[in-house]
């Protein structure tokens, strides 16, 4: 009742007229339904609002489509993108069976059950996550595929390719050179104010900022990194970060994309996830005398994450475009190694960290096309399997992979190079995900079906470069 009184006070003090209910489908896209603020009542948080689950990708058949979205009262925030004052909630999808219960394919259920499983296995611990959100901002985006054409056109006012200026317009110079955008300063960095506006909006709704900056990609690549949060909360916050970035950019006349590789031969955008398990004393991954200053638990966690990485990729890198980013030469991991400070490693132990209470690792493969609820859960389940089975990853690998001989490379596991290979790996290795009922057989089957369709959609369409290779053969 106290929570309901608090929400009623927020509605009154901010002249809220509407309540917006946001919920994630299996892929990780938000949907929403808007109801009047007068709908705030205890029943809203018990029985919610009815929706058609059969219209959501990967959810259910039409004959079993009736479902409920129930808002989580702890997730309320005033939505800055509605002109009419609106209070938003993040919701759970509930199945309408004999009794009301969390739907097995509800992504939020997965992350909360992963958190429960962690706490049952290692009482008193929480998984602490800190993602790096990388994205591009473009000024013009056009694409189409039809029987007689297939193209995309992307433009960025920062890009070096606009050094000569646009036709009919002025050109003031200050372009960001190819691969020259890392921490670029104004006036080359033209959107620092926009990033500050976005992060200010995020901080107003309780998402704390670590920093923001221009990234390596010269054609408008950026990064926002938030402070560490517990896994369930960070999964919600990850959805919010993407929502805020896209919507504020859109209303400022920019187009934001978290697509891993929107530009050929420019750096791709990742979602590197810093992570550690913590008890009341801080990170349980720290041991001053251990390899890379990792405790046994930290090492075994690394071992589990490396062992199951190919299967985990099906959730952390779930798009066909993901694997256009994971190529040599762009600080992207292509081999299953862990290392201190090496940004080509699959798992990097930051060499500059000095706080034992937050001693962490960084899983570098993920990208922004993932559903954070599923991706974060899959990573944690892999790491916990490593702890449970004492999987030793060996000593850190500190060599530069790009300069190894073929013989040396053959000794290091190759990570999936396509979505097909990641899905194949998942089908061979998913039992660790089922522990504690975190993932379910039906969710994994539905995920595979959805993602195989993605692969097929790309497979059947001619690619523009194929005309270069084969048109005159």
Active-site choice (92, 266, 362, 367): 362
Active-site choice (132, 225, 266, 385): 132
Look up 134 and say whether it is catalytic: yes
Chain centroid, CA 174 distance in Å: 32
Active-site choice (52, 66, 398, 408): 52
Residue 416, helix vs strand vs coil: coil
Q: Which two tokens stand for residue 78?
A: 């005033």
Look up 52 and say whether it is catalytic: yes
Chain centroid, CA 120 distance in Å: 26
Provide φ and ψ at 57, rounded to 5°.
-55, 125
Q: What angle do CA 447, 449, 453 make, to 5 degrees?
A: 115
Look up 343 and say whether it is catalytic: yes
Residue 407, helix vs strand vs coil: helix
Active-site choice (109, 274, 360, 364): 364
Chain centroid, CA 65 distance in Å: 28
Between CA 190 and CA 215 the distance in angstroms is: 12
Active-site choice (20, 25, 92, 134): 134
Look up 272 and say whether it is catalytic: yes
The answer to whether the Cα torsion of 210, 213, 216, 220 is positive or negative is positive
Identify whether the C-beta of residue 361 lies closer than 8 Å to the C-beta of residue 384: no
Which of the 8 DSSP states describes residue 294?
Answer: B
Between CA 354 and CA 344 the distance in angstroms is: 22
Q: Which two tokens stand for residue 53?
A: 């689950």
Active-site choice (112, 272, 308, 348): 272
Look up 215 and say whether it is catalytic: yes
Active-site choice (20, 113, 139, 223): 223
Active-site choice (183, 251, 343, 463): 343
Look up 63 and say whether it is catalytic: no
Look up 195 and say whether it is catalytic: no
As beta bridge partners, residue 138 has: 255
Q: What angle do CA 348, 368, 174 make, to 5 degrees?
A: 90
Identify whether the C-beta of residue 283 lies closer than 8 Å to the C-beta of residue 358: yes
Q: Enumerate the active-site residues.
A: 52, 132, 134, 215, 223, 272, 343, 362, 364
């Amino acid at each position: 009742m106290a929570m309901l009184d608090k929400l009623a006070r927020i509605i009154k003090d901010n002249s809220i007229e509407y309540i917006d209910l946001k919920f994630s489908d299996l892929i990780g896209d938000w949907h929403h339904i808007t109801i009047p603020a007068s709908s705030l009542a205890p029943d809203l948080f018990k029985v919610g609002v009815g929706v058609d689950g059969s219209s959501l990708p990967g959810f259910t058949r039409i004959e079993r489509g009736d479902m409920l979205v129930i808002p989580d009262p702890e997730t309320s925030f005033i939505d800055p993108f509605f002109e009419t004052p609106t209070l938003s909630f993040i919701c759970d999808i509930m199945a309408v069976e004999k009794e009301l219960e969390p739907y097995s394919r509800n992504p939020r259920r997965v992350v909360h059950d992963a958190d429960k499983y962690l706490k049952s296995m290692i009482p008193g611990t929480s998984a602490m996550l800190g993602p790096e959100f990388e994205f591009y901002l473009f000024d013009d985006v056009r694409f189409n595929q039809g029987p007689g054409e297939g193209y995309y056109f992307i433009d960025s006012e920062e890009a070096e390719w606009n050094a000569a200026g646009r036709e009919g317009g002025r050109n003031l110079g200050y372009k960001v050179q190819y691969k020259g955008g890392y921490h670029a300063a104004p006036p080359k960095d033209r959107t620092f104010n926009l990033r500050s506006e976005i992060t200010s909006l995020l901080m107003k709704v309780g998402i704390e900022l670590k920093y923001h900056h221009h990234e390596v990609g010269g054609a408008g690549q950026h990064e926002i990194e938030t402070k560490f949060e517990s896994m369930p909360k960070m999964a919600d916050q990850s959805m919010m970060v993407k929502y805020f970035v896209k919507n504020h950019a859109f209303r400022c006349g920019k187009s934001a994309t978290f697509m891993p590789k929107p530009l050929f031969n420019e750096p791709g955008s990742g979602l590197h996830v810093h992570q550690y398990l913590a008890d009341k004393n801080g990170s349980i991954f720290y041991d001053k005398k251990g390899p890379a200053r990792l405790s046994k638990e930290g090492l075994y966690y690394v071992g589990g994450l490396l062992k199951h990485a190919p299967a985990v990729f099906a959730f952390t890198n779930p798009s066909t475009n993901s694997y256009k980013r994971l190529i040599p030469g762009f600080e992207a991991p292509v081999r299953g190694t862990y290392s201190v400070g090496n940004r080509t490693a699959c798992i990097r132990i930051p060499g500059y960290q000095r706080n034992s209470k937050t001693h962490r690792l960084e899983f570098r493969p993920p990208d922004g096309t993932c559903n954070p609820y599923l991706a974060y859960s899959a990573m944690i389940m892999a790491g916990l399997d490593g702890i449970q089975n004492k999987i030793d990853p060996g000593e850190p690998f500190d060599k530069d992979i790009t300069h190894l001989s073929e013989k040396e490379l053959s000794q290091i596991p190759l990570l999936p190079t396509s979505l097909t290979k990641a899905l194949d790996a998942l089908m061979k290795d998913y039992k660790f995900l089922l522990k504690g009922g975190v993932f379910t057989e039906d969710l994994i089957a539905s995920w595979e079906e959805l993602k195989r369709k993605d692969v097929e959609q790309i497979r059947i369409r001619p690619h523009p470069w194929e005309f270069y290779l084969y048109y005159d053969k």
